[in-house]
């Protein structure tokens, strides 16, 4: 069986991105590999063995075109309201809180946060299919 270990996103300024992910989700640098043309930074926290890999191509000067495929990362937290308020108070870009209940029953409570490169991070409140996910948030 395969185990997912990381997902990579390309960023223009890794210092800015490292600070954003630390402020938003408490991620810290687990490792950093610096090469002549690019740098890889791995971010993680104690809640999961999964890492986010930030890749900087050193000759890149223009922001990446994220396209219209709507791919995104997602995290689960105990309280979407609490993290939404914390992120807002830090001046981080967050969307509105959404109660997703198309047939009347609440399926999920979530919001999206936007990182410095425009990536959308979905923040889902623990519950439903994510009820058994371990969180300390």
The catalytically annotated residue of 47, 86, 93, 122 is 122
- At residue 134, the 3 state secondary structure works out as coil
Instruction: State the Cα–Cα distance between residues 12 and 85, nearest whole angstrom.
Output: 27
Contacting residues for 117 by C-beta, under 8 A, at least 6 apart:
9, 10, 11, 12, 17, 63, 64, 66
Count CB atoms within 10 A of the CB of residue 8. Answer: 12
Is residue 48 within 8 Å of 65, Cβ to Cβ? no
Indicate if 122 belongs to the active site.
yes
H, E, C per residue of 19-49? HHHHHHHCCEEEEEEECCCEEEEEEEECCEE
Residue numbers annotated as active site:
122
């Amino acid at each position: 069986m395969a185990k997912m270990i990381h997902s990579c996103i390309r960023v223009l300024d890794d210092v800015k991105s490292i600070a954003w992910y630390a402020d938003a989700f408490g991620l810290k640098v687990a490792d950093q590999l610096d090469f002549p043309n690019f740098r890889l930074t791995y971010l993680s926290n104690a809640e999961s063995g999964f890492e986010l890999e930030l890749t900087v191509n050193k000759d890149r000067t223009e922001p990446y075109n994220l396209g219209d495929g709507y791919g995104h990362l997602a995290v689960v937290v105990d309280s979407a309201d609490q993290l939404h308020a914390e992120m807002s108070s830090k001046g981080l870009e967050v969307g509105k809180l959404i109660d997703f209940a198309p047939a009347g029953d609440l399926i999920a409570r979530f919001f999206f946060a936007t990182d410095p490169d425009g990536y959308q991070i979905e923040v889902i409140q623990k519950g439903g299919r994510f009820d058994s996910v371990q969180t300390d948030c």
